[in-house]
Amino acid sequence: MQQQTVPAAVSAEICARIDQFYAAQMQMLDEGNVGGWVATFAVDGVFESNGLPEPSRGRAALTALAAAAVARLDAQGAIRRHFVFNVIVEPQDGDVLRTTCYVPVFDTVGGVTTLTTSTVMRDELTVSGAELLVRHRTVTRDDLLVRS
């Protein structure tokens, strides 16, 4: 088992801001508010995942990525919910925070809810006054990991 160190504590205010940020961001995506979701990323923000062929870079690519996901779910008659928890926050140099958290994703189709995938989300967030923006997001789907 790999030994880990506990990150230095950050203020309760920062933790609350990040919690609210993720709650709003995920609900925007789940509601199909593509523009709102994309606006939570830096202009040159990046979204990458082991479930995608290549990273999406910049707001135009992020818009295309999210719009395609919303359209696919709509075509399936699915309601999607992202749950963010076990958030670890680590301050970096300057106004950057690194977060790591679990995000299980549930879909409801025809009245039946299933766990679609279990993921780990790692973000680099920039802090500018009251605004948080995702500079770089990496989502790792557990079902695509190969363990030795």
Per-residue pLDDT reduced to its tens digit, 25-69: 999 999 999 999 999 999 999 999 999 999 999 999 999 999 999
Rounded distance, CA 17 to CA 73, Å? 29
Task: Please state the length of the chain.
Answer: 148
DSSP class of residue 77? T
Cross-strand pairs, 81: 106
> Which DSSP helix (H) or strand (E) runs through 133?
strand 131-141
Over residues 128-137, mean pLDDT: 93
Q: Is 90 exceeded by the pLDDT of residue 10?
A: no
Cα dihedral 112→115→117→119 (10° resolution): 140
Q: Which two tokens stand for residue 122?
A: 């790692």
Q: Is 60 exceeded by the pLDDT of residue 92?
A: yes
Q: Tell me which residue has tokens 């919910």.
A: 81
Q: Which two tokens stand for residue 39?
A: 């606006």
Q: Are 81 and 62 in contact (CB under 8 A)?
A: no
